[in-house]
A and B are shown apart, each in its own frame.
Chain A
Amino acid sequence: MYRYDEFDARFVKERVAQFRYQVERRLSGELTEDEFKPLRLMNGLYLQLHAYMLRIAVPYGTLSARQLRMLAHIARKYDKGYGHFTTRQNIQFNWPKLVDVPDILDDLATVEMHALQTSGNCIRNVTADHFAGAAADEIEDPRPIAEIIRQWSSLHPEFSYLPRKFKIAVGGAAHDRAALKFHDVAVEIVKNDAGETGYRVYAGGGMGRTPYVGHVVGDFVAKTDILAFLEAVMRVYNQSGRRDNIYKARIKILVNALGPEEMRRQVEREFAEIKTGGTLEVPAEEIARITDYFAPPKFEPLSDASPEFEAARNADANFRAWSDINLSTHRAPGYSIVTISLKPIGGVPGDASHEQLDALADLMDQFGIAEIRVSHEQNLVLPHVRKKDLPAIHTRLAELGLATANAGLVTDIIACPGLDYCDLANARSIPIAQRLSERFADLKRQRDIGELKIKISGCINACGHHHAGHIGILGVDKKGVEFYQLQLGGSGAEDASIGEILGPGFGEHEIVDAVERVVDTYLEKREGSERFLDTVRRLGLEPFKERAYAGWAFHI
């Protein structure tokens, strides 16, 4: 993974000093809250329902054991002993004090971490496939270019006061595990007919009040040109994005208003001009230099058949189930990708205690695993694990409450913090996730249902990515009562689609039953090996609507 040199280290240190001075000026009254707010947001600090919330950047979701330990330390020293992993691969702490945040940032800087631009109207954390460098279907590791983009976007003088937030994701595999098409800009690694690697660039995707799937604005951008191209997109957006209405200020609105062709034309015009200047060209040596940081570990020459692994599968039903569900195919024989579920049945999705974080760091050291990843689905991933080590790792994870065998299944739910924590929320989302998790707890039933991604948001801002859920749930406030709207058929993968609303909302005590009826409908009507999503796409909403609202007095 990337290692800071003296420049990066000094940059982060100076940034902390900058923030410290901003806090001083806020406390002295020189800055009003209105002036301070965008400044603290640019350092990831929100004021939420109960307290401040600090969002720490985890660039492209990659962490070392040392960094995990620091996060555990911060949870203990400055917070209430736990952190929450987010749908953008970051980690959030819910209870820091404003006056402590500069010290927290100083501590983070000692392990090459920061909270730069995790909020605010600027370019946010660059996310990438959480299986990067390991997946069997990978064309190229997306993280080197994600790192190059991260550096370019850090304290960019021209693009720090955008109309609205800006989210970039990078993908490097045929299967999109980074929800590329729902990002403001996505960079997808592709190969052209000549076998050269370059980037397909999308713009205008987004969730929120008005979800959109992104459009291609660059079919094949050469590697050396990618920053020039992105700068062109950002410039068009900064100049022309709406500033009169925060709900119409994202680039998705601009792309939709101009139309993709006009957007493309404006971007290309700007791009051509930037290229002639030459200052944003990324030399091949630089790409190679950064790529070296992400070289995978030396994989041992192992056979893919591992006797230890097989023996454990035969001996232990729990291990067998977990290895069936939570492992993904690694490109190196004898290795596996492990998904550590942060969705224990009935638990708070995405939360981890400081004990768990420390224990995971120990586990990594013990088994020589240098990196752990945060997925946008609020789970953790160990990318390079020898199959022979899996039984011991599973045992340890089980002790830590981190071995729930539900990756990608119905209880692997994504939920935003919702009204339990968030100042913007209209309804609670976590308790709904918990009740759903408990309702569907039976593993046999879960496996029968198969892949089913439920995503829950507590407000229209859609931080739970409900538009991309196979089942999406949006919490709304109807005359002071929490109601939940169901959407079906969304997908954040390469087959991106926005879920369709089923009908009127369900009350807090109805929603779990409604979801169960929808799932039962799928089980009854599916054909062959169809997933839930496939059945919805084949049949449309009608049969699900009918069942969901069966027994309702009025005609839907």
Chain B
Amino acid sequence: MPDGRSTYDSSTREPTRMPLIKNGILVEDHFETIADDAPFPTNGSIVSLARFHKDRETLLARNALLGVRLKSGESPEALGEDVLRLSVIVLEFPKFRDGRAFSWARMLRTRLGFTGEIRAVGHFLYDQLAFMHRVGIDAFEVPENITLPEFHRALGEMTDVYQPSADGRKTIRQLRAGA
């Protein structure tokens, strides 16, 4: 698997996964991330961008939920108008220092009008969760040390924000003006 964090044991088809927090609660993952050469499962699948381009017709014709997983260097623009036909877009954080996904998430929400799930996977820190949430990431594949209480703690550390982002939160300027 590209990120080395979630492992897929093909002999049992039972993936061992990290917990998924979505919209602030722990949820089951209804998607399977599948390798570029693996067959599609019957339920929702997440494919790489390369595979999406290659098998686009087939994938979009299937009566199953579909997601695409983007590497940190892959812009959502590469999905074109198909982005609105996807249920989930997975953004990889190969290293927590690689901050491109923050812009990809914001682009998905604001420019591309994507309302599906934006899921962060890979290596990111507790300290980035609030930022990730603000730019529009609503699902997080979290390591063990980020429990649900920790997740909420992170989001609550700063009461107010100075600048607008994809979350549409009121900024301090707006609050000052009594908006």
Binding site for B on A (CB under 8 A): 5, 7-8, 10-11, 14-15, 17-18, 21-22, 25, 30-31, 35, 38-39, 121, 151-163, 227, 235, 238-239, 243, 273, 277, 279-280, 283, 285-286
A158 touches B96 (CB 8 A): no
Q: 0/1 per residue, B97-121, Cβ < 8 Å to A?
A: 1111011101000110000000000
Q: 3 closest Cβ contacts across the A-B interface?
A: A161-B99, A157-B131, A157-B134
Q: Could you tell me the distance between the alpha carbons of A15 and B127 in the complex, rounded to whole angstroms?
A: 12
Which of these, A15, A35, A154, contacts B125 with CB under 8 Å? A35
CA–CA, A59 and B126, complex, Å: 28
B161 contacts A by Cβ under 8 Å: yes
On chain B, the residues within 8 Å of A153 by CB distance are 163
Q: Judge whether A158 and B162 touch: CB under 8 Å.
A: no
- Give the contacting residue for B172; candidates A11, A30, A159, A227; CB below 8 A: A11
* Per-residue interface assignment for chain B, residues 73 to 102, with 1 indicating a CB less than 8 Å from any chain A CB and 0 otherwise: 001000000000000000000001111101
CB of B9 closer than 8 Å to a CB of A: no
Interface residues, chain B, with chain A CB atoms under 8 Å away: 72, 75, 96-100, 102-104, 106, 110-111, 125-128, 130-132, 134-135, 145, 157-165, 172-173, 175-177
A-B contact pairs, 27 of them (CB 8 A): A7-B160, A7-B175, A7-B176, A10-B160, A11-B162, A14-B159, A15-B158, A22-B127, A25-B126, A30-B145, A121-B99, A151-B163, A154-B162, A155-B161, A157-B132, A157-B135, A157-B165, A158-B99, A158-B102, A158-B131, A158-B165, A238-B100, A238-B103, A239-B104, A243-B97, A243-B100, A285-B177
With A7-B175, A243-B100, A286-B173 as known contacts, state yes or no: A155 contacts B125, CB within 8 Å: no
On chain A, the residues within 8 Å of B165 by CB distance are: 157-158
A238 CA / B99 CA spacing, docked (Å): 7
Whether B157 and A14, one on each chain, are in contact in the complex, defined by CB atoms closer than 8 angstroms, is yes
Inter-chain contacts of B126 with A (CB < 8 A) = 25
Instruction: Specify which chain B residues have a CB less than 8 angstroms from the CB of A155 in the assembled complex.
Output: 131, 158, 161-162
A35: contacting residue among B96, B164, B173, CB under 8 A:
B96
- Given A10-B160, A35-B96, A38-B97; A157-B172 close (CB under 8 Å): no
Known: A14-B158, A155-B158. A160 touches B131 (CB 8 A): yes
* Distance of A30 Cα from B132 Cα, bound (Å): 20
Known contacts A7-B176, A15-B158; is A152 also within 8 Å of B103 by CB? Answer: no
**Residues from chain B with Cβ under 8 Å of A39 in the complex:** 125, 127
Q: How far is the CA of A239 from the CA of B164 in the complex (A)?
A: 19
